[in-house]
Amino acid sequence: MAAPDALPRADARDKAVGAEIYSADHTPLDCLWAGAKRAGVAHAAITGLHIEAARAVPGVVAVLTRADVPGTNRQGIVHKDQPVLAGSRVRHCGDAVALVLAENRAALAEALGRIRLDLTPLPGVFDPLAALLPDAPLVHPDHPGGNCLARGLVEKGDATAALETCAVVVADTFFTPMQDHVFLELPNGTARRTAQGGIDMVVSTQAPFRDRFEIAHALGLDPMRIRVRAPYLGGGFGGKDGATVQCLLALAALNADGRWVKMVWDREETFLAGYKRHAARVALRLGAQHDGSLLALDAVMHFDAGPYAHLSGEIMALALEHAAGPYRIPHTRLQGFCAYTNNPVGGAFRGFGVVQASFAIERLMDALARRLGRDPAGLRRQNALRRGESNGAGVAMAEEAGAGECLDRIMAHPVWTGRQAWKAAAPPLTRRGVGLAVALNAMGYGRGLPDAAACKLELTRQGTFRIFNSVPDMGQGNAGAFVQMAARVLNQPPEAFALVQPDTRRCLPAGSSSASRTTYTFGNALLGACRAMAAKLAARAALALLCDDPARLCLQPGAVADPATGRAVPLARIGAMLIRDDRICVDQYVMPVVANPPDTGREFKLGFPHRFFSHGACLCAVEVDELTGLVRLADCVTAVACGTVLSVQGVEQQMHGAAAQGVGLTLFEDMALDQGRIRAGDLSTYLIPTALDLPDLECLIVADHEPTGPLGLRGMGEVGIHGPGPAVAQALADATGLVVRRLPIGPEDVLTALGEKQS
């Protein structure tokens, strides 16, 4: 057998040859097509909805409106405030107001085009700070908090007083933009009503087990009669954590007479109606002593939730928890506000609030370094949290390696050690600069919200194994990691394992594929099931081998062997002898939480604080064209401490993908939002980095071991996204003197800075 970390991904071959069947590939013969009519207006009262012309289109089967929704018509993961179909009011351009079922896509498009809305425009609110002013137009007039969806406060020590005593205080305000996930596979699914009145659905989703409850609540169904299957996703990044097509599709299925219905959003509808990373405003004041020791941080963060809650409050909470970055700061006062606006709906996105927090604290660390005349790397190293020290929320770091160790690794890299020579060798009309940043990212749902997974493992009659995966693989490779883990624990070749992708009827419940929790939590459940399987196999083999000490037996590829006698019994023989119930092993895992949580975040009932973190650092070298202001990323080196690495390839791919998405946020992606309307709402105007825009990405793995982790690992799918923003900003400051407070950084920002420097 190949060494586990040299194994190819379990999904590689089928994806490479195009054999993998994604949700989007499920198109049952003779299925109906469903589509939603979108409002197209940011804030308005609906005074009329004319669907007769649409109904008259040949091939149209049904045109449904709010009145056709049988349940509460409300969806939302925590607060259920988002209508499946808007009735009297439109709160953002992407609101669905009608649902059409047609025999084909042409009829569907024709009918959607014929639906007419009578709208009375209402004044909108498009900025989270403005939304919280007393006279702001209300997005939900009946919401008791007005436009304030959520607020939070984390306090450790006395930051206000401590800031008074600091030798140096720096303050600034930072802005990060809305960001689209731009997953390759668009939101889609197929569904049909079952004979028992339930729903059978195949959908591109990160949370199939939760989807049942979303659909059931919105449409008044029994969640146990809803079956959701989640094949491999063509990307998710948080954008499929929460209902996209689910409720609309189920509503369509209820009206399709038992026929399959398919719904696919196109890219433009996805921009319009999909979730986005929250735009945020982060105002920080950071105080230090003369020697550079950080003493106090005051933070005020505003998040733009858009019109519906989704996970806004939870994202704000995680941002507060990470506001102090990976630094030792004795006094913190961290305030957060989530405001309803008429912008697109804010939701989960890789980094989940931490991106916004990280960018701000890292930029301000650069400002502090400047003020103190210190080198930004040294100042970071001096203040980096060590094991046992308390982070900004008062939780002690438990990891073996942290941001400091990651920083050490990138500071030893030639891109850093050779930076002066490289800069000096810049060609004419070119400026060069090098910058770095550090970050940490929590793993899991946090305290109060059980981060759980259950796993089913089957020994087949043929003596092979079937892993019933419960957490979708959106491309991050968790499914392949599961095969690797099981193969290692059961000492079988990877070919001995088949993967059943999430299916609420066949697989066991687990939380979402999100929060860097997927491989950790389900992996631990899987290992439990593997250990139960190993014990079962030994006990059953003991009978065939006449061995009275099953603990002596060991698993070999395809067999259980007795080292004492040299005899072995094939797994196929055991599999053939057991009834089905005896060929199944089940186990579950709930992620441990902070045992004695500090009294820092009293306003949070759920999801605060976190016990586990992965840590990272990022080193970027940039080249600036003095004539055009264009920035070329010349090098991007990341380091990560995430426990024992199971698959080097898997970690590198996550770090590369996260870095690329971070570079997109930093230098490319701009939705050009204008009064709630996305002006750059397609891929010809909303630009994401391609392979040609990126250097060869390099990832350094820092030695670490997570004692609670499956085979010693922690989740690390998010920590890599935080580095490029602040590292590129620092590199640009190094190259041009530009002080970046707002992302993305455009050529005009660079040209302006060059002009200022020259003048």
Between 90 and 452, CB nearer to a second copy: 452
Residues near a second copy (CB under 8 A) are 224, 445, 447-452, 454, 456, 504-506, 508-509, 532, 535-536, 539-540, 542-543, 546-550, 576-579, 581-582, 584-586, 588-591, 593, 606
> Cβ of 693: how many Cβ atoms within 10 Å?
15
Q: Between 242 and 657, name the residue whose CB sits nearer to a second copy.
A: 242
**CB 513, min distance to a second copy, A:** 17
Q: Which is nearer to a second copy, 506 or 742 (CB)?
A: 506
> Nearest to residue 419, comparing CAs of 696, 720, 622, 656?
622
CB of 525 to a second copy, least distance (A): 9
User: Among residues 406 and 585, whose Cβ is nearest to a second copy?
Assistant: 585
Cα 26 from Cα 7, distance rounded (Å): 29
CA atoms within 13 A on the CB side of 426: 21
Taking the C-alpha atoms of residue 467 and residue 525, their distance in angstroms, rounded to an integer, is 11
- Least spacing, CB of residue 509 vs a second copy, in Å: 7
CB of 85 to a second copy, least distance (A): 28
Q: What's the min distance (Å) between Cβ of 588 and a second copy? A: 4
382's tokens: 């001096």
CA distance 202 to 189: 5
CB of 459 to a second copy, least distance (A): 12
For residue 235, give the 3-state DSSP assignment: coil
Nearest Cα to 312, choosing from 78, 511, 602, 559? Answer: 78
Query: Strand 452-459 vs strand 465-468: parallel, antiparallel, or unpaired?
Result: antiparallel
Q: State the amino acid at position 331 in one-letter form.
A: H
The DSSP bridge pattern shows strands 631-641 and 567-570 to be: unpaired
Residue 320 DSSP label:
H
The least distance separating a second copy from the CB of residue 77, rounded to whole angstroms, comes to: 14
226/434 with CB nearer a second copy: 226
> What Å distances lie between residue 380 and 169, 365, 403, 444, 637, CA to CA?
16, 8, 9, 26, 17
Report in angstroms how near the CB of residue 333 gets to a second copy at its nearest.
Answer: 26
Of 220 and 448, CB closest to a second copy: 448
Q: In what order do the strands lie in the sheet with 612-625?
A: 430-443, 612-625, 631-641, 697-701
Does residue 453 contact residue 470 with C-beta atoms inside 8 Å? yes
Q: Do 731 and 622 meet the contact criterion of CB atoms below 8 Å apart?
A: yes
Least distance (Å) from a second copy to the CB of residue 457? 10
In the complex, least distance from residue 11 CB atom to a second copy, rounded to whole angstroms: 24
Strand partners, 452: 590
Least distance to a second copy from the beta carbon of 224, Å? 6
- Give the nearer residue to a second copy in terms of CB position, either 6 or 543: 543
CB of 190 to a second copy, least distance (A): 22
Whole-angstrom distance, CA of residue 78 vs CA of residue 170: 37
Residue 623 near residue 629, CB atoms below 8 Å? no
Q: How far is the CB of 517 from a second copy (least distance, A)?
A: 13
Give the length of the chain.
759
Contact (CB, 8 A) for 51 and 117: no
Residue number, 542 or 618, with CB nearest to a second copy: 542
Burial class (CB in 10 A: 0-12, 13-18, 19+), 22: middle
Instruction: Tell me how far, at minimum, the Cβ of 304 lies from a second copy, in Å.
Output: 28
Q: Which residues of 580-618 are buried (b: 16+ CB within 10 A; e: fewer)?
A: eeebbbbbbbbbebbeebbebbeebeebbbbbbbbbbbb
CA 221 from chain centre, in angstroms, equals 29
Shortest distance in whole angstroms from residue 453 CB to a second copy: 9
Distances (CA, A) of 311 to 126, 242, 473, 609: 19, 9, 21, 16
- Whether the Cβ atoms of residue 459 and residue 575 lie closer than 8 Å to each other: yes
Q: How far is the CB of 456 from a second copy (least distance, A)?
A: 6
Give me the least distance between CB of 572 and a second copy, in Å please: 13
Query: Distances in Å between the alpha carbon of 421 and those of 412, 415, 734?
Result: 15, 10, 14
- In the complex with a second copy, the residue whose CB is nearer, 45 or 535, is 535
Q: Which CB atom, from 501 or from 666, has the smaller least distance to a second copy?
A: 501
At position 47, the amino acid (one-letter code) is T
Per DSSP (E only), the strands in 158-250 are: 168-176, 188-193, 199-203, 226-229
Tell me whether strands 89-90 and 96-102 are parallel, antiparallel or unpaired: unpaired
Nearer to a second copy, 9 or 536 (CB): 536
Contact yes or no for 115/55 (Cβ under 8 A)? no
CA distances to 306, 512, 686 from 187, in Å: 20, 16, 18
Indicate the residue among 167 and 606 with the shorter CB distance to a second copy.
606
Q: Which residue's entry shows tokens 């064209």? A: 625
* Cβ distance to a second copy smaller for residue 547 or 728: 547
Residue 81 is encoded by which pair of tokens? Answer: 């405030």
Which is nearer to a second copy, 361 or 542 (by Cβ)? 542
Do 242 and 77 meet the contact criterion of CB atoms below 8 Å apart?
A: yes
Nearer to a second copy, 250 or 457 (CB): 457
Residue number with CB closer to a second copy (426 or 577): 577
Edge-to-edge, what's the strand order for the sheet holding 559-562? Answer: 554-556, 559-562, 567-570
Which C-beta is closer to a second copy: that of 444 or that of 472?
444
- Name the residue nearer to a second copy (CB basis): 593 or 618: 593
Give the nearest distance from C-beta 498 to a second copy in angstroms. 16
